[in-house]
């Protein structure tokens, strides 16, 4: 097979590329290449020279061909100028210095990550790690992201689990009125939150958040004394947790049969009473009659849900 055809087959269009060797090992194609010798300008004194100092092998991954991984072994020349400066030859966009993937691979992976359902999907398709795809995506898209200069009067903040080089948890800032995200902070540290709010939160009057004391302290230090509103989801969760703790405590006193059955109805205990079927109401009441503490906790939960629904409609 002609050398130039193999070079074109793997997508390397540089006319100066010379095929040195090729092999297939463990279902992986190994392509050994080098560039034609030619004069280069010294980056220090601009003198043109083709005097070779030595060679170095730069191995990197290229795009797959027929679902076979391609490993390029690039025999890279190093030139030396009469002024004493050593430098690498220009490879005209084949691979960047110190990179383990070709320029074509980076371009294809970036395009795929934009249209694919997830970064993990792209990572599996291109034979790399998810974090590598995320770093590639961030490096290309970050310059185009313009953070807002001012935050609205009412904002909502909450953490979520991500996976970046800045931390495993990030902080999202959203507009609770429009229900649209405003910005995402690289981590949830108090220093990051305070700095961001000081720069853009001069107009903020209300902040909706969970019951985290760290978030509350960061917001108050950055904004003074804004109105802090507990997020309904996190507030309601404490009610359900309290009911669950009572159920776990009292069911230890039940007959083994009732104790096992009581574990299975915990989902029904959280539902609003009006949403239960007649059969479910009978099942619930049976266990509520077994211990007064469980009945009291359930009544408090029902009273809270009724209050919450009434005020939500307002």
Q: Exposed/middle/buried for 29, CB within 10 Å: 0-12, 13-18, 19+?
A: buried
Question: Are 155 and 148 a contacting pair, CB within 8 Å?
Answer: no
Burial 201-220 (b: 16+ CB within 10 A, else e): beebeebbbbeeeebeebbe
pLDDT at 314 over 70: no
For residue 278, how many other CB atoms are within 10 A of its CB? 6
List the one residue out of 242, 247, 239, 192 whose CA is nearest residue 218: 192
Dump pLDDT digits (tens) for 190-234. 899 999 999 998 899 999 988 888 888 999 999 888 898 888 888
Average of pLDDT values for 22-51?
Answer: 91
Q: How confident is the model at residue 144 (pLDDT cuts 50, 70, 90)?
A: low
Mean pLDDT of the chain: 88
pLDDT at 13 over 90: no
Q: Residues 6 or more apart from 10 whose CB is under 8 A from it? A: 29, 31, 62, 63, 65, 70
* pLDDT: which is higher, 283 or 12: 283
* pLDDT: which is higher, 230 or 314: 230
> Where do you find CATH 3.30.420.10 in the chain?
154-230
pLDDT at 1 over 60: no
- The CA distance from 84 to 45, in Å, is 10
From 158-172, 202-216, 236-250, 257-271, the region with the lowest mean pLDDT? 158-172
Task: Please tell me the class of the 154-230 domain.
Answer: alpha beta
For residue 313, how many other CB atoms are within 10 A of its CB? 6
Average of pLDDT values for 96-106?
Answer: 91
Dump pLDDT digits (tens) for 63-100. 988 888 999 999 999 999 999 999 999 987 889 998 99
- The CA distance from 29 to 139, in Å, is 29
DSSP string, the chain: --HHHHHHHTT---TTEEEEEEEEETTEEEEEEEEPP--EE-TTT--EE--EEEEEEEEEEEEEETTEEEEEEEEEEEEE-TTS-EEEPP-SSS--TT-SB-HHHHHHHHHHHHHSS-HHHHHHHHTS-HHHHHHHHHHHHGGG----SS--SEEEEEEEEEEETTEEEEEEEEETTTTEEEEEES---HHHHHHHHHHH-TT--EEEE-S-HHHHHHHHHHHSSPEEEE-HHHHHHHHHHHHHHHHHHHGGGS-HHHHHHHHHTHHHHHS-GGGS-HHHHHHHHHHHTT-HHHHHHHHHHHHHHHHHHHHHH-
The whole-number pLDDT of residue 161 equals 82
Q: Residues 6 or more apart from 20 whose CB is under 8 A from it? A: 32, 33, 34, 73, 75
The whole-number pLDDT of residue 163 equals 66
């Amino acid at each position: 097979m002609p050398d130039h055809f193999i070079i074109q087959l793997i997508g390397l269009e540089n006319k100066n590329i010379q095929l040195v060797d090729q092999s297939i090992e463990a279902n992986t194609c190994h392509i050994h290449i080098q560039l034609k010798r030619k004069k280069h300008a010294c980056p220090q004194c601009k003198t043109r020279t083709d005097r070779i100092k030595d060679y170095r092998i730069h191995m990197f991954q290229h795009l797959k061909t027929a679902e076979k991984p391609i490993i390029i072994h690039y025999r890279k020349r190093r030139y030396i100028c009469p002024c004493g400066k050593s430098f690498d030859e220009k490879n005209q966009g084949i691979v960047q210095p110190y990179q383990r993937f070709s320029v074509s691979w980076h371009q294809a992976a970036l395009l795929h990550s934009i249209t694919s359902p997830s970064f993990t999907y792209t990572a599996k398709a291109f034979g790399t790690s998810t974090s590598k795809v995320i770093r590639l995506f961030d490096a290309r898209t970050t310059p185009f992201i313009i953070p807002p200069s001012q935050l609205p009067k009412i904002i909502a903040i909450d953490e979520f689990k991500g996976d970046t080089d800045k931390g495993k948890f990030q902080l999202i800032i959203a507009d609770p009125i429009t229900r649209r995200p405003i910005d995402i902070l690289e981590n949830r540290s108090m220093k990051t939150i305070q700095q961001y709010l000081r720069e853009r939160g001069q107009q903020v009057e209300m902040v909706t958040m969970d019951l985290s004391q760290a978030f509350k302290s960061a917001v108050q230090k950055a904004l003074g004394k804004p109105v802090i509103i507990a997020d309904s989801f996190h507030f309601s969760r404490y009610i359900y947790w309290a009911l669950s703790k009572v159920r776990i405590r009292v069911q230890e006193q039940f007959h083994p049969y009732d104790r096992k059955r009581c574990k299975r109805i915990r989902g029904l205990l959280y539902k609003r009473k009006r949403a239960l079927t007649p059969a479910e109401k009978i099942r619930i009441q049976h266990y509520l009659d077994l211990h007064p503490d469980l009945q009291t906790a359930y009544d408090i939960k029902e009273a809270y849900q009724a209050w919450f629904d009434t005020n939500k409609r307002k």
